[in-house]
Structure 1
Amino acid sequence: MKLPAKKLVISSIVAASFVVLPQIGGHHSSAKAAAINTNQVLHYGESDSSVKALQDKLQDLNYYKSTIDGIYGNQTRSAVRSFQGDNNLAVDGIAGPNTLGKLFSAKVSTQKVSNDVTLTTNLKYGDRGQAVKDLQSTLNNLGYHAGTVDGIFGSTTLNAVKSFQKAQGLQSDGIVGPNTRAALAAPKTTSTPKKTNSNVNAIIADAKALIGVPYVYGGTTTKGFDCSGFTQYVFAENGISLPRTAAAQWNGGTKVNSPSKGDLVFFATVNNGPSHVGIYLGNNQFINASSSHGVTISDMNNSYWKPRYLGARSYN
């Protein structure tokens, strides 16, 4: 007599609220899938397998285009911020439960797979593509600092758009709609926005108020600064967004032949390129976060700084 075939029963318990498996498709393989706890909080500076899974998912949606290394650095934070902006989340660069839940859900938007936006599309914070590059080039040419022409509508580009809109008598909302596009094509004035004494004085006052704060490598708070963390902090206090590193601040600013008060001054202290930055005070003095003295005022003409001086950049 023929015996009935035995049934193999496999049971599994999936804690869906706790672990989500990234969807696999396109160029990804099953070996690339990784579990992630969507109830955790991932932020800048972390390094583990959860960050790697985060990068993998962001790359799958074309937000993250760097190496998947499991290190939550600037590019990962930028990708998270872009995703948050596109999905009506708080744009803070922190991958918390809301962001992770949205990112790893089946309903997540995949608009970024096609990055380029047309010139007739409203451009806003978080957008990417050739249209954003064109916008950045135009703003830079008009004297409104939009940062590096990288096609990423970040905070620096946003501030430039708002400044341009204000100068043109438009609603300063940072969104490049029909009125702003028309103004960019035929601006009322092409002159470079002028520094105001009040803005420069505020920057210098805020910088001097931090004299004595210790130097901390990688520091970006009043507990301790490195050189670019100090300049970034002071300018942010005055509504101006700077890149994070001295080299990026050098590349992003508007070149000036000689510094004015409130400009950034750069020095080559390690190699030939910019590795140190401070804020020019006038009379050949600048304030900076020195590795030996913390936040202090230095003389550009002394024997150490003078031969290392590279030039100045304006962000005002």
Structure 2
Amino acid sequence: MASHRRAKQPGRTRVTVLTATAAAAVALTSQAAQAAPQPSKNEVKEKVDKLYEEAEKATEKYNGAKEQQTRLQKEVDALQDKVARGQDELNTLRAGLGTVASAQYRSGGLDPAVQLFLSSDPDTYLDQASALDQLGSKQTEALTEIQSKQRTLAQQRKEAQAKLGDLADTRKELGTKKREVQTRLASAQKLLNSLSAKERAALKKDESRANRASARADLGKAVPASGRAAAAFAAGQSKIGTPYVYGASGPNSFDCSGFTSWAFAQAGVGIPRTSQAQANAGTRIYSQSQLKQGDLVIFYGDQHHVGFYAGNGQILHAPRTGTVVRYESINNMPFQFGVRI
């Protein structure tokens, strides 16, 4: 016979101890969460500056992809125009040969080779000497030209198709780089929003102080590197106070390389769009003491930032998101070399 003994219930003392232990654990967890230190204003600023630097790296890659997209689009358009013109020329040549064939037919006989051409692809029989022997010199010349035009068109169509594939890949890369920049900027903004109103005001005050320092920058007796460097630098000076916006190339907002390329364009000089490409656009100068006003200055090992040398250890540049075009010390970032355009 099965036993129906009742399970032993835990004693009141044990339940009380367990309840008390659980309550204590919850309380300790709550206290630990409350005691977790909030990052200071300086710590947040350090993280935000790092995110802005990463965003600028991604921005220059975005600029490179955008520049490549523009170049590829121009090449595709040119090839498609070439194909269209070639097709028109081919149609004209075919129409001309058709007119000859009509005349032969009306005069009592259609040349067998022309008849063959009109009923199939000329590539099929132009390689056969017997067909060429039956043609007159003008017809031979016309058919040869048509064949050549067809081959050229086929090659141009193939090239255009390849360029279209490259263009599609570049557009995809462009979207990826844009999202990367936006992610970094959004993370930076989230960190800034975690600060108190007082701390955000303090950071804003620091930026205002940097702008005031820029207005008082002493450029010494700076000598321009050349007439065009002087013109580009003067154009850059006219944009002091203009906001930094990633991917922007003026005239109402700039990123770092957008600022320098725009300024040189005002001097009638075309330079590449990205900082890495600008690093190879002229003669490199590795000693700061040899820099002259209007020289480009390249920063960071991966060359993701560029500005103008202004003189007396100062640079003129578009620093980063949240700032404006201004003067700053050349020592604020890791200098790599100058570039004389």
TM-score, shorter chain, exceeding 0.5: no
Higher helix fraction: Structure 1 or Structure 2? 2
Give TM-score, length-normalised by structure 2. Answer: 0.37
Give TM-score, length-normalised by structure 1. Answer: 0.40
Higher strand fraction: Structure 1 or Structure 2? 1
- State which structure, 1 or 2, has the greater radius of gyration over its C-alpha atoms: 2
User: Using CA pairs below 8 Å that are at least 6 residues apart, which structure has the higher relative contact order?
Assistant: 2
